[in-house]
Chain A
Amino acid sequence: AQKVTQAQTEISVVEKEDVTLDCVYETRDTTYYLFWYKQPPSGELVFLIRRNSFDEQNEISGRYSWNFQKSTSSFNFTITASQVVDSAVYFCALSEGGNAGNMLTFGGGTRLMVKP
């Protein structure tokens, strides 16, 4: 069975600091998809990134970057020069696709607080 672990329950940083959110996953499938979602206080989950298991290229989008390492089953997320607006709960998730469809297994989430 699949599992996603976000060991950091809560992180507090001061604005402009860099912060890395850790995500470790378990799956028996060779084809799978990894995601990061952001949940602001309003409640809806906002998509940040999707990565398939065959694409280990790191990705950078503005102040956000993601490091995918199959060897360690990790998909970590770094925010550079954090801002107060980055304060939210961040979820890492795994989908096995195929017959699993769009069923996502979520990690427990990391609450990020960015203080001015």
Chain B
Amino acid sequence: KAGVTQTPRYLIKTRGQQVTLSCSPISGHRSVSWYQQTPGQGLQFLFEYFSETQRNKGNFPGRFSGRQFSNSRSEMNVSTLELGDSALYLCASSPDRGGEKLFFGSGTQLSVL
């Protein structure tokens, strides 16, 4: 089985732009979660989608949004980028929801200049 795939691997944007990151979960997995990792704040939960519905959201501003498609693939969008949005964005999938083991992708490294 293919693992969790995230594209692109690296991204460079400038302040004020918007960005869309993509995540393809492991086949059969219905839950997709997103995390932001920065040196200062560590790993922080962004949101979780399950069967196309957002089930949980972390403490991030409304500029961060996401969605999940019927094939479980997910995208997250960040609008009006700020320097502080520079981070590694990790996607994780699991078969179901509720304290499950998560399978993580290699992440998208976003740099905002």
Residues of A participating in the B interface, judged by any CB pair closer than 8 Å: 32-33, 35, 37, 42-47, 50, 52, 91, 93, 95-109
Contacts and interface: CB of A to CB of B under 8 A. Distances in A.
A102 B98 contact: yes
Contacts, number: 74
A101 B102 contact: no
**Interface size of B as a range:** 20 to 34
A35 B101 contact: yes
Contacts of A46: 104
Given A42-B106, A44-B104, A103 B31 contact: no
A104 B45 contact: yes
B56 A101 contact: yes
A44 B55 CA distance: 23
6 contacts: A35-B101, A43-B107, A47-B103, A93-B43, A96-B99, A103-B58
B102 A104 contact: yes
Contacts of B97: 101-102
Nearest to A42: B106
Contact of B101 (A47, A98, A108): A47
A50 B43 contact: no
B105 interface: yes
